[in-house]
């Protein structure tokens, strides 16, 4: 993959639910596995799992320990290799700061969402990648809360399929976006 | 999406496990949801869930009923809309026959797998789509059993990421492949 170092973030707060209310979503084992495996495949260097809920952070640590050191590590070492990308953070800002520290440059968050119409194109995003370490930000539940979009951060255009249906699982959206950013311009 | 009608199949037998032994894998709720939502997004017309195990077929029917008619249908109608693409079949051959009947033309199966080096390119696959209704065939577990590759069916080149790691979840691989086939040549 060409360009600067790439990281992904999976946000569990602030998120909106089906009715548009702001919530903290639960971390799911499957999101961690699927996104970590895809990230590892595409050379992503870090996968930030973001939640302010202490018991959820402990759950993440338990899952990671199972696959990195526990029975899972010997049963399927490829999982541990992917899950090794995971770090936890309590806020998106903390993840941006951590990724900036790790890369030694100011990391640029790139927000994703199915309903945005104001985003940069995938082509533009590939170009931004030549200049900054990017942090691709994915929401859970019914998507990133509106307040996140008021902070002046860059937004990526939505994935458009063959019609009006745009209810991709975040796991699938992350896979498609990483594949598109991997493609040569 | 340009070209003839497209369908996908998720095979639970014959599949190889970690050691290369032939097995019947379990149907998972998540595979059905994720692949159905991605398929629906990309205009795929049918999603065949293939297993010879009667109790597994019943499980699929139970899941479908919940989201098509039960509590799930009112809770989240988008799910039912995606899961409506699902049909079950006991063998891959039966799915090919059903898809040929539905489209009124001879359906062409396209086998996918992470370890193949003999496949047609995505560009060639997009061209095949101009001529035939395609059935994209995905394996579960550690992949489609070798015997499936001895039947003279077309194989698609694997997804290549940024390195040697090629352990994408089938849910992510299906998303990436449908997105690539959707792109204009």
Burial of B121 (0-12, 13-18, 19+ CB in 10 A): exposed
Tokens of B100: 């040929």
Please give the Cα distance from A118 to B81 (Å, whole number).
Answer: 27
d(CA A139, CA A16): 9
- What pLDDT shows up at residue A1? 43
Domain assignment present for residue A167? The answer is yes
In a domain, A1, yes or no: no
**Cα–Cα distance measured from residue B147 to residue A150, given in angstroms and rounded to the nearest whole number:** 55
| Closest to B167 measured CA to CA, from B112, B111, B114 | B114
| Residue in B53, B12, B164, B106 with CA at minimum distance from that of residue A43 | B164
Q: Could you tell me if B41 lies within 8 Å of chain A, comparing CB atoms?
A: yes
Q: Is the Cβ of A26 closer than 8 Å to some Cβ of chain B?
A: no
CA distance A153 to A142: 20
pLDDT higher at B184 or A129: A129
The verdict on a CB contact (< 8 Å) between B166 and A76 is no
Q: Length of chain A in residues, anyone? A: 185
* Beta-bridge partner residues of A86: A47
Q: What is the pLDDT of residues B154-181, one digit of tens each?
A: 999 999 989 889 899 999 999 999 999 9
Q: Which residues in chain A have Cβ-Cβ distances shorter than 8 Å to B42?
A: 161-162
Q: Domain limits at B20?
A: 6-182
Q: Which two tokens stand for residue B128?
A: 């095949």
Q: Are A161 and B41 inside 8 Å of each other by CB?
A: yes
Is the CB of A169 less than 8 angstroms away from the CB of B40? no
A residues 107..136 contacting B (CB < 8 A): none
What is the structure's pLDDT at B2? 54
Answer yes or no: do B179 and A182 touch at CB < 8 A.
Answer: no
**Phi and psi of B138, rounded to 5°?**
-110, 140
The ipTM of this complex is: 0.94
Cis peptide before B151 (omega within 30 of 0): no
Confidence of residue B185 (pLDDT cuts 50, 70, 90): very low
Of residues B38, B169, B176, nearest to A34 (C-beta): B169
- State pLDDT tens for residues A96-133: 999 999 999 999 999 999 888 879 999 999 999 999 99
B63-122 pLDDT per residue, tens:
999 888 878 888 888 888 999 999 999 999 999 999 999 999 999 999 999 888 879 999
pLDDT over 50 (residue B141): yes
Identify the bridge partners of residue B110 per DSSP, sorted by sequence position. Answer: B136, B154
- Asked if B82's CB is within 8 angstroms of A33's CB, the reply is no
CB neighbours of residue B3 within 10 Å: 18
CATH of the domain at A116: 3.40.1280.10
Q: Is A126 contained in some domain?
A: yes
HEC readout, chain A: CCCCCEEEEEECCCEECCCCCEECCCCCHHHHHHHHHHHHHCCCCEEEEECCCHHHHHHHHHHHHHHHCCHHHHHCHHHHHHHCCEEEECCHHHHHHHHHHHHCCCCEEEECCCCCCCCECHHHHHHHHHHCCEEEEEECCCCECHHHHHCCCEEECCCCCCCCCCCCCHHHHHHHHHHHHHCCC
Give the pairing type, strands B108-111 and B46-50: unpaired
Peptide bond into B14 cis (omega under 30): yes
DSSP H or E run through B89: strand B86-89
Q: Which residues of B touch A76 (CB under 8 A)?
A: 18
In the block, tokens 């370890």 appear at B115
Query: What is the tally of structural domains in chain B?
Result: 1
Is the Cβ of A66 closer than 8 Å to some Cβ of chain B? no
The pTM of the full predicted model, rounded to 2 decimals, is 0.95
Percent of chain A predicted with pLDDT > 70: 97
pLDDT over 90 at B184, yes or no = no
Mean pLDDT over each residue of chain B, to the nearest integer: 93
Exposed e or buried b per residue across A90-109, where buried means at least 16 C-beta atoms within 10 angstroms of its C-beta: eebeebbebbbeebeeebbb
- When scoring B121, B143, B159, B162 by the number of chain A Cβ atoms within 10 A, the one with the most, hence best to mutate, is B162
Distance, in Å, from the CA atom of B134 to the CA atom of B120, rounded to the nearest integer, reads 14
Q: Does residue B1 belong to any structural domain of this protein?
A: no
In a domain, residue B134? The reply is yes
Nearest alpha-carbon partner for A110 in A82, A161, A144, A160: A144
CA–CA gap between residue B105 and residue B99 (Å, rounded): 9
Residue contact B37–A176, C-beta within 8 A: no
- Which residue would you say has higher pLDDT here, A53 or A185? A53
- B52 lies in some domain: yes
Q: Rounded CA gap, B113 and A183, in Å?
A: 20
């Amino acid at each position: 993959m060409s360009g600067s170092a790439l990281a992904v973030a999976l946000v569990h707060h602030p998120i909106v639910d089906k009715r548009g209310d702001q919530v903290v979503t639960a971390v799911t084992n499957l999101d961690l596995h699927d996104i970590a495996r895809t990230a590892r495949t595409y050379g992503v260097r870090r996968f930030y799992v973001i939640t302010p809920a202490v018991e959820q952070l402990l759950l993440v640590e338990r899952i990671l320990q199972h696959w990195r050191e526990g029975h899972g590590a010997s049963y399927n070492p490829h999982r541990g290799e992917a899950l090794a990308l995971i770090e936890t953070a309590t806020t998106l800002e903390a993840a941006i700061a951590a990724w900036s520290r790790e890369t030694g440059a100011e990391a640029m968050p790139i927000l994703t969402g199915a309903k945005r119409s104001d985003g940069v194109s995938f082509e533009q995003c590939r170009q931004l990648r030549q200049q900054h370490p990017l942090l691709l930000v994915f929401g859970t539940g019914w998507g990133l809360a509106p307040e996140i979009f008021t902070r002046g951060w860059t937004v990526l255009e939505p994935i458009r399929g063959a019609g009006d249906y745009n209810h991709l699982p975040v796991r699938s959206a992350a896979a498609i976006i990483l594949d598109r950013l991997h493609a040569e311009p």
